[in-house]
Structure 1
Amino acid sequence: MPPSSPSPYLTRHTRPDRPARRLVCFPHAGGAASFYRPWARYADPSLELLAVQYPGRENRFREPLVPTMDPLAAAVADALLALPPVPTVFFGHSMGAAVAYETLLRLEGAGACHVTRLCVSGRSPDGAARPAVRTDDEVVEAVGSLGGTHAAVLDDPDLRELLLPVIRNDYHLIDVYRRRADAPLLHADVHALTGDRDPQVTPGEAAGWSALTSGSFTLTVLEGDHFYLVPAVGRVARAAMEPARPLPV
């Protein structure tokens, strides 16, 4: 009997009867849970692969968008705290890295210790400094500068009209977000990944995540731009799916 459906914030891409471990993936700005569906092919039978589904896209298309970090991270944390605790890894790309970090702060603040590793991709701890994006053309230009699938999709007028409100919302969310300077150190290990030609984050900036944890830190630099993880999907997915360290007894 497959497990019951989780919160609408969570989409299951694999359904082991008795998951021994879990990977939770957080999409980038304008992204959706389906971005991580191809990762299922790299999962072993014991791994439950979940992707966060932000409101306003795919199966949550009719729901209001969430324009700020605090209510979004709180809602995702509540959804995850309702699941049985198994050794868990978070993976977040770009905006998703910040959402994953904020969600993990809330889980650890609630006493949860089963998330043993945070993988942050394509983002420094404090993000890229950039001017506020205002017009539709500026949104399209910003998306195009990063590569990825949205750049080509936005050439289609119908898809552009559909996607622009979501992308604009997420750009606003991440532009106004500021990491708390007094946030506690994470207990989880941190693995930062980035492309060597990412216009938003250098390898040195990605290494700044090391200051945010009392656990171990690893930095991986792969060939590519901001969406280096698309051509390198197998390598990145396998790195995120490496077994987490055992839970404390």
Structure 2
Amino acid sequence: MNTAERWIRRYSPELPGAAQLVFFPHAGGSASYYRPFCLALADRFEVSALQYPGRQDRFAEPCVTDLDSLADHVFARLRTMTGRPLAFFGHSMGALLAYETARRFEEELGISPVRLFASGRSAPSRPGETAVDLTGDRLLTEIRALGGTDPQLLDDEAMLELLLQPLRADYQALQTYRFSPGPPLRCPVTALSGASDPRTREDGVAAWREHTQGEFDMRVFPGGHFFLSEHVEDVTALVTERLSGVSQSG
């Protein structure tokens, strides 16, 4: 498997002229979380999801514990995908990572994604995650509070360690992230949130408006932090609607 294949998992055949859509997983998450979304969109877009180091088939690779460094790695892998319109969808930590990657596209290449979908995360300029003890039981308590992980996996000691290693790394990346003020993105932003998310306030999600010079809209779904899993059809319909009319000509 070459470097690009390790980082980018493709879930659709080539569709000449179609927009490209890349999903950015949440803290501790993997590309496979987005498989239902990718399959639902594969007849309209060339869809793929990122696979960060330190999880699933990349378990033997060291995790990246700095979000800016992770954004540099992702940018290096995605910067070749500029021949056609390119959209980003990130959930939770993935929303911050997608934002930082979009900044690099604009600053380094002078190219903007056609849209950034920022899900389940307050705007970058707002206070970050509540500090969590990464070495004790509080991280496990946090995972249980957010939901989204099969409780049976959390009760399996062997599986739990496989989950906790990338989670610790990703939470360290989140807790050490510091927003650097700069020009707002030129691309439009769509923010998504769960109405009963215990970690994300609606006003914090609405503050994504401050981070774009383009169009902004926000959609609140029923559910908690992992509302996406409960609304695959509605979320993919929203993505399709927002990317309608986007073609190779952009």
SS at 1:230 equivalent: helix
Give the Cα–Cα distance (whole angstroms) in 2 for the partners of residues 73 and 17 of structure 1.
27
- 1:83 deviates by 2.3
Written as runs of structure 1 = structure 2, the 5 A alignment for 1:71-110 is 71-110=69-108
Which residue does 2:22 correspond to in 1?
24
SS at 1:118 equivalent: strand
CA separation of 1:116 and 1:84: change in aligned 2, threshold 3 A:
closer
Which residue does 1:59 correspond to in 2?
57
- 1:246 deviates by 5.8
Is the CA contact 1:144–1:150 (under 8 Å) kept in the aligned structure 2?
no
- 1:210 deviates by 0.1
Give the Cα–Cα distance (whole angstroms) in 1 for the partners of residues 4 and 164 of structure 2.
28
CA separation of 1:94 and 1:23: change in aligned 2, threshold 3 A:
same
Which residue does 1:183 correspond to in 2?
182
* Fraction of identical pairs, as percent: 38
Gapped runs of 5+ residues in structure 2?
A: none
Give the Cα–Cα distance (whole angstroms) in 2 for the partners of residues 111 and 24 of structure 1.
18
Give the Cα–Cα distance (whole angstroms) in 2 for the partners of residues 165 and 80 of structure 1.
25
Tell me the amino acid that sits aligned with residue 201 of structure 1.
T
Give the Cα–Cα distance (whole angstroms) in 1 for the partners of residues 134 and 113 of structure 2.
37
Is the CA contact 2:102–2:112 (under 8 Å) kept in the aligned structure 1?
no
Is the CA contact 1:42–1:238 (under 8 Å) kept in the aligned structure 2?
no
Which residue does 2:119 correspond to in 1?
121
4+ residue runs over 6 A deviation: none
SS at 2:21 equivalent: strand
Tell me the amino acid that sits aligned with residue 195 of structure 2.
D
Which residue does 1:204 correspond to in 2?
203
- 1:136 deviates by 3.5
Give the Cα–Cα distance (whole angstroms) in 2 for the partners of residues 208 and 51 of structure 1.
26
Query: Normalized per residue, which structure has more helix?
Result: 2
- 1:85 deviates by 2.4
CA separation of 1:153 and 1:112: change in aligned 2, threshold 3 A:
farther
CA separation of 1:138 and 1:19: change in aligned 2, threshold 3 A:
farther
String of CA shifts for 1:215-246, please: whole Å, max 9, x gaps: 01001001000001101111112222332646
Q: How does the TM-score come out when normalised to structure 2?
A: 0.91
2:47 corresponds to which of 46, 49, 55:
49
Which residue does 2:33 correspond to in 1?
35
- 1:214 deviates by 0.2
Which residue does 2:139 correspond to in 1?
139
Give the Cα–Cα distance (whole angstroms) in 1 for the partners of residues 204 and 127 of structure 2.
9
- 1:134 deviates by 3.1
Tell me the amino acid that sits aligned with residue 55 of structure 2.
R
The alignment yields a C-alpha RMSD, in angstroms, of: 2.1
State which drifts further: 168-177 or 149-158. Answer: 149-158
- 1:52 deviates by 0.9
State which drifts further: 17-26 or 70-79. Answer: 17-26
- 1:112 deviates by 4.2
